[in-house]
Amino acid sequence: MKKITCLLIFASLLLALIWISLPTIAVKGAQESANVQGVAHVQLQGFDTCSAPSLDRMQQWWWHSPYWYIGIYIGGISRGCSQPNLSRHWISETTRQGWKFLPTWVGPQAPCTSFPHKFSSNTNQAYQQGKNEAIAAAQAARNLGLNSSIIYYDMERYNDNDTSCRQAVKAFLKGWVYQLHYEGFQAGVYASPCNADDYYYSYPRLDGVWAASWIYNQYTSYASPYGMTCLPDSYWQHRRIRQYAGDHREQWGGVPMWIDSNVADGLVATSVFYRGGGIQSFGLLPNVGWIVTRKGQIWLTRDMGRSWENVTPPFSTGTVIEAKFLTPYEGWAVQELPQSFEIAKFYEGKWERMAQINKDWRFALRSQVHLSVTPDGQHLWMNVRLPTSGNFNLGVLFRSVDGGRNWEEVPTVPAGGPLYFENALKGWLLGGPLHERLFYTLDGGESWKEVKVQPAPSKTLRLALPVFENEQSGWFIAYTGDRYYLYVSKDGGKTWKIRSEGRSSEMAEMVFSSQNVLVQKVPHFELPKGTVLVVMPDAMDGWAYAWDGRCEAKKKCVVEEYLYVTRDGGKSWDRVVWPDR
- Pair 193, 94 in one domain: yes
Question: Is the pLDDT at 364 greater than 80, yes or no?
Answer: no
More confident position, 523 or 265? 265
**From CA 209, how far away is CA 243, in angstroms rounded?**
11
More confident position, 273 or 287? 287
- Pair 254, 334 in one domain: no
Domain-terminating residue out of 225, 245, 271 = 271
Read off the pLDDT of each residue in 277-281 and give the average, rounded to a whole number. Answer: 72
For residue 386, give the DSSP letter. P
Question: Is the pLDDT at 382 greater than 90, yes or no?
Answer: yes
- Pair 347, 411 in one domain: yes
**Residue 82 located in a structural domain:** yes
More confident position, 581 or 156? 156
* Residue 464: band (very low, low, confident or very high) from pLDDT cuts 50, 70, 90: confident
* Residue 555: band (very low, low, confident or very high) from pLDDT cuts 50, 70, 90: low
Question: Is the pLDDT at 17 greater than 70, yes or no?
Answer: no
- Pair 47, 122 in one domain: yes
CATH number at residue 478: 2.130.10.10
Q: What is the pLDDT of residue 581?
A: 58
* Residue 485: band (very low, low, confident or very high) from pLDDT cuts 50, 70, 90: confident
Q: What is the pLDDT of residue 576?
A: 85
Number of C-alpha atoms within 13 angstroms, CB side, residue 467? 24
Question: Is the pLDDT at 111 greater than 60, yes or no?
Answer: yes
- Pair 297, 156 in one domain: no
Q: What is the pLDDT of residue 450?
A: 92
The answer to whether the beta carbons of residues 246 and 260 sit under 8 Å apart is yes
Q: What is the pLDDT of residue 413?
A: 94
- Torsion over CA of 254, 256, 262 and 268, rounded to 10 degrees? -80
- Pair 366, 505 in one domain: yes
**From CA 205, how far away is CA 134, in angstroms rounded?**
15
The answer to whether the beta carbons of residues 220 and 261 sit under 8 Å apart is yes
Read off the pLDDT of each residue in 69-94 and give the average, rounded to a whole number. Answer: 92
* Residue 526: band (very low, low, confident or very high) from pLDDT cuts 50, 70, 90: low
Q: How confident is the model over 143-154, as pLDDT tens digits?
A: 998 888 999 999
Q: How confident is the model over 312-328, as pLDDT tens digits?
A: 998 766 788 899 999 99
Question: Is the pLDDT at 24 greater than 60, yes or no?
Answer: no
- C-alpha distances out from residue 504 to 221, 231, 249, Å: 46, 53, 55
Q: What is the pLDDT of residue 328?
A: 93
Question: Is the pLDDT at 551 greater than 60, yes or no?
Answer: no
Q: What is the pLDDT of residue 279?
A: 79
Q: What is the pLDDT of residue 272?
A: 55
- Pair 25, 46 in one domain: no
- The residue segments making up the domain with residue 93 are 36-271
Read off the pLDDT of each residue in 464-481 and give the average, rounded to a whole number. Answer: 78
CATH number at residue 178: 3.20.20.80
Q: What is the pLDDT of residue 472?
A: 87
- Pair 235, 337 in one domain: no
Question: Is the pLDDT at 521 greater than 50, yes or no?
Answer: no
Q: How confident is the model over 194-251, as pLDDT tens digits?
A: 999 999 988 889 999 999 999 888 899 999 999 998 999 999 999 999 999 988 889 8
53-60 LR contacts (CB < 8 Å, sep 24+): 53/85, 53/257, 54/85, 55/85, 55/90, 55/93, 55/94, 55/97, 57/255, 57/257, 58/94, 58/97, 58/99, 59/97, 60/252, 60/253, 60/254, 60/255
Q: What is the pLDDT of residue 32?
A: 37
- Name residue 559's beta-bridge partners: 274, 549
- Pair 476, 570 in one domain: yes
Provide the residue count of the chain.
581
**Residue 581 located in a structural domain:** no
What is the CB neighbour count within 10 angstroms for residue 50? Answer: 15
Domain-terminating residue out of 271, 304, 336 = 271
- Pair 411, 293 in one domain: yes
**Residue 433 located in a structural domain:** yes
* Residue 1: band (very low, low, confident or very high) from pLDDT cuts 50, 70, 90: very low
Question: Is the pLDDT at 158 greater than 60, yes or no?
Answer: yes
Q: What is the pLDDT of residue 236?
A: 95
* Residue 87: band (very low, low, confident or very high) from pLDDT cuts 50, 70, 90: very high
Question: Is the pLDDT at 3 greater than 50, yes or no?
Answer: no
**Residue 580 located in a structural domain:** no
- Pair 262, 308 in one domain: no
Question: Is the pLDDT at 278 greater than 80, yes or no?
Answer: no
| Neighbour-count burial for 501-532, b at 16+ CB within 10 Å, e otherwise | eeebeebbebbbbbbbbbbeebeebbbbebbb
Q: Number of folded domains in the chain?
A: 2
Q: What is the pLDDT of residue 529?
A: 73
For the chain, give the mean pLDDT: 82
Read off the pLDDT of each residue in 268-283 and give the average, rounded to a whole number. Answer: 69
Q: How confident is the model over 384-439, as pLDDT tens digits?
A: 988 766 567 889 999 999 999 999 999 989 999 999 998 999 999 999 877 888 99
Helices 88-97 and 55-64 sit at what angle, rounded to 10 degrees? 20
More confident position, 559 or 28? 559
